[in-house]
């Protein structure tokens, strides 16, 4: 009863607001900021409500709406809220130009150091899209700039999945996983096991999983909450990037990703 009265008072106060702003949106933004600051563990509704000066019922209703739109995620076991995948997708889309400007020099150095093609990808609704690419002048290579690729069949996609919360990974892998080559991993349990290994070593690999002759490595560009907002990859034909080079190229991709993250912070 007390929470309902407080909620009514909130609505009455909002209707009298002379600022011209929509106070429910102000409160939602305040909650988003509080959730973001709580990464990576998240926080329960009571703590978020107290920090934002809201009663619990109002905070719960706003968080439920934000969760419906993918802006926050609620852990069903702990009832803690964390930032949702939609926020990362919006940030990646909005910040592509600035990201490319700051990352391009890093990609150039990476390509020069390895002699291979270096790419930068961002997450979009149906997969990853390559937004920048540096190809060594001596290498004849197909251009992937602007190309969208699936999450489960590329080193870039797997590097992105490996750093997402489990609930988001399950959502992204809910549909059947297409088999592009004989080496495409379509078994979800095997893919989850690989994602755990990727997170432990700091980079992912692909051995002809999207195109038979294309091999590569990739590493995530992480924000302050340790969420991926872009991916650095090094790839090429199997003859140039055999599996024996992964141990060399993987750490270089990871270092480049860390440098880009630092430049964007």
Average pLDDT over residues 156-173: 90
129 contacts 233 by C-beta, under 8 angstroms:
no
pLDDT score, position 168: 85
Question: Residue 3 has what pLDDT?
Answer: 46
Q: Where are the domains of the chain?
A: 2-83, 89-264
pLDDT tens for residues 68-94? 888 888 888 888 998 887 776 666 555
Q: What are phi and psi of 58, to 5 degrees?
A: -65, -45
Residue by residue, DSSP assigns 198-251 as HHHHT-EEEESSSSTTEEEEEEEEE-TTS-EEEEEEEEEETTTS-GGGHHHHHH
Three-state DSSP class for residue 118: strand
**pLDDT digits 0-9 by tens, 22-68:** 888 989 999 988 888 776 678 899 999 999 999 999 999 999 999 98
* C-alpha dihedral, 188 to 124 to 102 to 231, nearest 10°: 10
Residue range 2-83 forms a domain whose CATH class is mainly alpha
The angle at the Cα of 187, spanning 186 to 190, to the nearest 5 degrees, equals 120
pLDDT attached to residue 88: 64
pLDDT at residue 97, rounded to an integer: 81
**What's the predicted TM-score (pTM) here?**
0.66
CB 34 within 8 A of CB 52: yes
Q: Which residue, chain included where needed, has tokens 């009514």? A: 8
The whole-angstrom separation of Cα 23 and Cα 33 is 15
Q: Domain 89-264: give its CATH superfamily.
A: GAF domain (3.30.450.40)
Q: Helix, strand, coil proportions of the chain in percent (round to 5)?
A: 50, 20, 30
Do 2-83 and 89-264 have matching folds? no
Residue 250 · residue 217 · CB < 8 Å = yes
CA 65/CA 63 separation, integer angstroms:
5
Is residue 224 scored above 80 in pLDDT? yes
What CA–CA distances, in Å, run from 218 to 31, 131, 172?
A: 34, 15, 19
Query: pLDDT band at 1, cuts 50/70/90?
Result: very low
Q: Which of the two residues, 228 and 85, has the higher pLDDT score?
A: 228
Pick the more confident residue, 88 or 171: 171
Cβ pair 27, 53 in contact under 8 A: no
210-219 tens-digit pLDDT: 999 999 999 9
Taking the C-alpha atoms of residue 244 and residue 5, their distance in angstroms, rounded to an integer, is 67
pLDDT at 153: 93
């Amino acid at each position: 009863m007390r929470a309902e009265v407080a909620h009514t008072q909130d609505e009455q106060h909002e209707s009298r607001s002379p600022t011209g702003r929509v106070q429910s949106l102000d409160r939602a933004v305040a909650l988003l900021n509080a959730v973001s600051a709580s990464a990576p563990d998240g926080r329960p509704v009571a703590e978020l409500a107290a920090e934002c000066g809201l009663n619990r019922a109002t905070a719960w209703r706003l968080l439920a709406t934000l969760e419906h739109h993918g802006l926050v995620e609620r852990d069903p076991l702990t009832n803690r809220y964390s930032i949702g995948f939609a926020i990362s997708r919006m940030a990646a889309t909005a910040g592509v130009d600035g990201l490319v400007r700051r990352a391009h020099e890093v990609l150039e150095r990476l390509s020069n150091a390895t002699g291979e093609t270096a790419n930068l990808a961002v997450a979009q609704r149906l997969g990853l899209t390559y937004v920048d690419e540096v190809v060594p002048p001596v290498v004849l290579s197909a251009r992937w700039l602007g190309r969208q690729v699936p999450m489960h069949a590329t080193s870039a996609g797997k590097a992105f999945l490996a750093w997402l919360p489990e609930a988001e990974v399950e959502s992204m892998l809910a549909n059947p996983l297409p088999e592009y080559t004989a080496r495409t991993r379509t078994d979800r349990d095997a893919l989850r096991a690989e994602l755990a290994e990727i997170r432990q070593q700091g980079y992912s690999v692909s051995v002809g999983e999207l195109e038979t002759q294309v091999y590569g490595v990739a590493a995530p560009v992480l924000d302050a909450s340790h969420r991926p907002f872009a991916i650095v990859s090094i790839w090429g034909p199997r003859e140039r990037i055999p599996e024996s080079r992964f141990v060399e190229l993987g750490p270089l991709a990871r270092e480049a990703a860390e440098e880009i993250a630092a430049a964007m912070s």
